[in-house]
Chain A
Amino acid sequence: MEEELRVRLNDHQVSKVFPVKPKSTAKPVSKSETPESRYWSSFKNHSIPNLVSSVSALAFSPVHPYSLAVAHSATVSLFSSHSLSSSRRFSFRDVVSSVCFRSDGALFAACDLSGVVQVFDIKERMALRTLRSHSAPARFVKYPFQDKLHLVSGGDDGVVKYWDVAGATVISDLLGHKDYVRCGDFSPVNDSMLVTGSYDHTVKVWDTRVDKSKWIAEINHGLPVEDVVYLPSGGMIATAGGNSVKVWDLIGGGKMVCSMESHNKTVTSLCVARMESAETRLVSVALDGYMKVFDYGRAKVTYSMRFPAPLMSLGLSPDGSTRVIGGSNGMVFASKKKLRDVVEEKKSLSLWSVRSQVDETRRRALRPTYFRYFQRGQSEKPSEEDYLVKEKKGLKLTRHDKLLKKFRHKEALVSVLEEKKPANVVAVMEELVARRKLMKCVSNMEEGELGMLLGFLQRYCTVQRYSGLLMGLTKKVLETRAEDIKGITEFTGLLRNLKREVNQEIRIQQSLLEIQGVIAPLMRIAGRS
Chain B
Amino acid sequence: MIRGGRSYVTSPPSFSNDAKKLLVCTGNTVSVFSAATGLQITSLEGHTALVTTLIVVPASTPAQKILCYCWTASLDGTIRHWDFSGPELLKTIDAQLPIYSMVIPSLLSEPQKIDKRRELSGKLVAFVSVEDISVVNEGSKELRGHIRRFNLAKPRVPRGDTLKETAEPESIVISPSGEFFGIRHKCKIHIWDVPSGGSRHAVSRKMTLHHTKVINAFAFHPTERVIAAGDVTGRVLIWRGFGNRKLALGNQKKKVRATVDLDNPGVRGEDDTESCTTWHWHSAEVNVLNFSSDGAYLYSGGREGVLVVWQLDTGKKKFLPRIGSPLLYFVRSPDPTLSSVVCADNQIHLLKMPSMEILRTISGIKPPPSLPRMYEGLASTVAFDRSSGIAALCTENYCVQLYNLLNDRGISEIQVCERNHQPGDEITVVVTAVALSLDGSVMSTTEVKLPEDGIGGLVSLKFWASEPDSKTFTLSTIVYEPHRDARVSAIAFHPTRSMAVSTSFGGDFKIWVCNSDKKQTDKDSSWICHAVGSYKKKPMTAAAFSGDGTVLAVAAENVITLWNPDKNILLSVLGTTLTPVTKLCFAGKSEFLVSASHFPRPELSVWNTSKLSLSWSYGLRIEAVTSAVDSSAFAVLAVIPKSFKTDESNENIFRGRDGAILLFNGSDPKPVSIWTVIKAKGGSISFLEGDKSQLRLAYVNGSREYVVFDPNSDESHERSAVDYDSLTGLEETGDAGYTSLYGQLPDYDKKRMEDVDSLATPFISSERPWETIFSGSTLNFPPLQKLCAEFFESLMEKRTAVVE
Contacts and interface: CB of A to CB of B under 8 A. Distances in A.
Co-complex (A, B): yes
Interface of A: 2, 4-6, 8-10, 12-16, 18, 21, 23-24, 29-30, 32, 429-430, 433-436, 438-439, 468-469, 472-473, 476
A476 B458 contact: no
Interface string B392-419: 0000000000000000001111010011
Given A6-B38, A434-B419, A438-B455, A12 B413 contact: yes
Interface stretch (B357-365, B708-716, B729-737): B357-365
A436 B425 CA distance: 10
Contacts of A9: 38, 360-361, 363, 410, 412
Contact of A8 (B321, B349, B472): B472
A430 B526 CA distance: 25
B419 A472 contact: no
A151 to B, nearest CB: 52
Contacts of B456: 429-430, 433-434, 438, 469, 472-473
A6 B409 CA distance: 13
B470 to A, nearest CB: 7
A18 B322 contact: no
A468 B449 contact: no
Contacts of A4: 470
Given A433-B451, A472-B456, 11 more contacts: A2-B37, A9-B363, A9-B412, A12-B361, A16-B322, A18-B420, A430-B458, A433-B428, A468-B481, A468-B485, A469-B456
B478 A24 contact: yes
Nearest to B418: A18
B360 A439 contact: no
Contacts of A10: 358-361
28 contacts: A4-B470, A6-B360, A8-B470, A9-B38, A9-B361, A9-B412, A10-B359, A12-B412, A13-B323, A13-B361, A14-B358, A15-B321, A15-B420, A16-B415, A18-B418, A18-B420, A21-B418, A24-B478, A430-B449, A433-B428, A433-B456, A434-B449, A434-B456, A468-B481, A469-B455, A472-B454, A472-B455, A473-B455
A21 B480 CA distance: 14
B455 A8 contact: no
B524 interface: yes
Interface string B335-359: 0000000000000010000000011
A473 to B, nearest CB: 5
B426 interface: yes
Interface residues of B, number: 41
Interface in B436-475: 449, 451-456, 458, 470, 472
A266 B519 CA distance: 36
A16 B398 CA distance: 13
Nearest to A21: B418
Nearest to A472: B455
Contacts of B741: none
Interface of B: 37-39, 321-323, 349, 358-361, 363, 410-413, 415, 418-420, 426, 428-429, 449, 451-456, 458, 470, 472, 478, 480-481, 485, 515, 519, 524, 526
A472 B526 CA distance: 31
A18 B452 CA distance: 21
A435 B39 CA distance: 38
A115 to B, nearest CB: 58
A23 B451 CA distance: 17
B455 to A, nearest CB: 3
* Interface of A, helix, strand, loop or mixed by DSSP: helix
Max chain B Cβ within 10 angstroms of own Cβ: one of A6, A12, A439? A12
A439 B485 CA distance: 21
A5 B412 CA distance: 8
Contacts of A439: 452-453
Contacts of B415: 16
Given A16-B322, A429-B456, A433-B451, A8 B412 contact: yes
A140 B470 CA distance: 66
Contacts of A29: 515, 526
B476 to A, nearest CB: 12
Contacts of A435: 428
8 A-B pairs closest in CB distance? A433-B456, A472-B455, A15-B322, A18-B418, A13-B358, A433-B452, A434-B428, A9-B361
B478 to A, nearest CB: 6
Contacts of A14: 358
B419 A436 contact: no
Nearest to A480: B453
A117 B458 CA distance: 74
Contacts of A472: 454-456
A163 B520 CA distance: 59
Contacts of B429: 434
A147 B472 CA distance: 69
B455 A436 contact: no
A436 B453 CA distance: 9
Contacts of A23: 478, 480
Given A8-B470, A12-B413, A13-B349, A436 B428 contact: yes
Max chain A Cβ within 10 angstroms of own Cβ: one of B321, B449, B458, B485? B458
B484 to A, nearest CB: 9
A189 B478 CA distance: 59
Contacts of A433: 428, 449, 451-452, 455-456
A439 B480 CA distance: 23
B322 to A, nearest CB: 4
A439 B524 CA distance: 39
Max chain A Cβ within 10 angstroms of own Cβ: one of B456, B470, B526? B456
B1 to A, nearest CB: 26
A254 to B, nearest CB: 40
B189 to A, nearest CB: 34
Contacts of B418: 18, 21
Contacts of A429: 456
A349 to B, nearest CB: 41
B637 to A, nearest CB: 31
Contacts of A436: 426, 428, 452
